[in-house]
């Protein structure tokens, strides 16, 4: 299938792969393998329930597969499109409570932990991690979302803006405010 665009090639390599995945099982498998852990981590962080995150990530990828032919790389990055699906799945599950939902953290739950921790991260104590969690919960939901998407999901401000329905400049301002407030909250603990 040849996709006709307005003369511009999609610059997002995942977007190009997504277009290919409409008819190519290997391309779809590559998209799934790359994005599954990121979407799962996002949903796990939001639900704090591994069984529910499993269900929601499955629904997200089923919807991605069903609507892949509707993805338009000129409207945004593939990751933005996919995380919007995940956010919609989450919102549908929780209804209007999805944005304001606050659940207690599980004892050993650390959504920011990468697969392989660096020596710097290994030096953080459990107490410091708990302080960070407490400080994050004191931030407004929008600021928490922006911090999570920026640092844990490694999304760019324009991708976050698309997912949250904000201007990229507003995302950058909110990110700065969230970092500043988080620093203040953590400094109060010292």
pTM: 0.55
Distance CA(177)–CA(48), nearest Å, equals: 26
143-190 pLDDT, tens per residue?
888 888 888 777 888 888 877 778 889 999 999 999 999 888 888 765
Q: Which CATH architecture has domain 11-99?
A: Orthogonal Bundle (1.10)
pLDDT of 126: 62
Cα distances (Å, whole numbers) of residue 130 to 16, 62, 65, 185, 188? 40, 35, 38, 13, 14
What is the pLDDT, as a whole number, of residue 61? 94
Domain boundaries along the sequence of the chain: 11-99, 112-190
Predicted pLDDT of residue 132: 78
Q: Which tens digits make up the pLDDT trace of 46-93?
A: 888 888 999 999 999 999 999 999 998 888 888 889 988 998 898 888
- Distance CA(138)–CA(136), nearest Å, equals 5
Q: Which residues contact 140 (CB under 8 A, 6 or more apart)?
A: none
* CATH fold label, 112-190: Arc Repressor Mutant, subunit A (1.10.10)
Contact between residue 88 and residue 67 where contact means Cβ atoms under 8 Å apart: no
The 10 Å Cβ neighbour count of residue 71 is 20
Q: Which residue has the higher pLDDT, 105 or 134?
A: 134
Cβ neighbourhood burial of 110 (10 Å; 0-12, 13-18, 19+): middle
pLDDT-based confidence at residue 1 (cuts at 50, 70, 90): very low
């Amino acid at each position: 299938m040849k996709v006709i665009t307005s003369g511009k090639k999609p610059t997002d390599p995942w977007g190009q792969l997504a277009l290919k995945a409409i008819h190519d099982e290997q391309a779809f498998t590559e998209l799934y393998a790359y994005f599954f852990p990121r979407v799962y981590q996002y949903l796990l962080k939001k639900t704090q329930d591994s069984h529910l995150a499993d269900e929601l990530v499955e629904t997200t990828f089923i919807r991605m597969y069903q609507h892949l032919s509707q993805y338009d790389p000129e409207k945004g990055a593939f990751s933005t499109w996919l995380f919007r699906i995940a956010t919609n799945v989450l919102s549908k599950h929780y209804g209007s409570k999805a944005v304001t939902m606050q659940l207690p953290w599980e004892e050993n739950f650390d959504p920011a932990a990468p697969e392989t921790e660096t020596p710097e991260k290994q030096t953080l104590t459990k107490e410091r991690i708990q302080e960070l969690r407490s400080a994050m919960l004191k931030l407004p939901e929008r600021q928490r979302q922006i911090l999570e998407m920026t640092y844990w999901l490694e999304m760019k401000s324009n991708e976050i803006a698309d997912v949250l329905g904000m201007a990229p400049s507003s995302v950058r301002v909110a990110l700065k405010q969230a970092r500043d407030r988080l620093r203040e909250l953590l400094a109060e603990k010292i």
